[in-house]
Amino acid sequence: MEHKLSHFMLSVKDVKKAIEFYKTLGFELEYEKDGWAELKWGNMELALKSIDADDQVTSGVGFHTDDCKALTEKFKQQGLTVTKDCEVRSDGIVLSQVVDPDGNVVWFAQSTK
């Protein structure tokens, strides 16, 4: 299986304001839906996750993979906490997600396009 770095994620209080801020730095909006946004600047991608005042602040890192299903099965066999299991998004991305012991997110995305 091949994996390559995909995203870094930041928790933000207001996704719309954060999008505008990062756009002024030169990022371009690639995707936005339900308190989640993805921006791109060159070959670097940044994800923004909306949080409420009571939410725990987490960080995350994402990777592209060529086989989401096989990788997710491997995680389950290893006893990792899988919080998304090959969820298909409206933009054609298949997403699996695990969390580390501190609640930080590590996700793996496979493009179906």
At residue 102, does pLDDT exceed 80?
no
**How do residues 27-85 score in pLDDT, each as one tens digit?**
899 999 989 999 998 888 888 888 876 776 677 788 888 999 999 998 999 998 899 99
The pair of three-digit structure tokens given for residue 41, joined into one six-digit string: 């600047």
pTM value > 0.85: no
Helices marked H in 5-109: 15-24, 68-77
Q: Are 109 and 95 in contact (CB under 8 A)?
A: yes
Q: Coil, strand or helix: which one is 111?
A: strand
Q: Alpha-carbon distance 89 to 111, whole Å?
A: 10
Q: Say which CATH number the domain at 21 has.
A: 3.10.180.10
If one counts the domains in the chain, the total is 1
Residue range(s) defining the domain that contains residue 99: 3-111
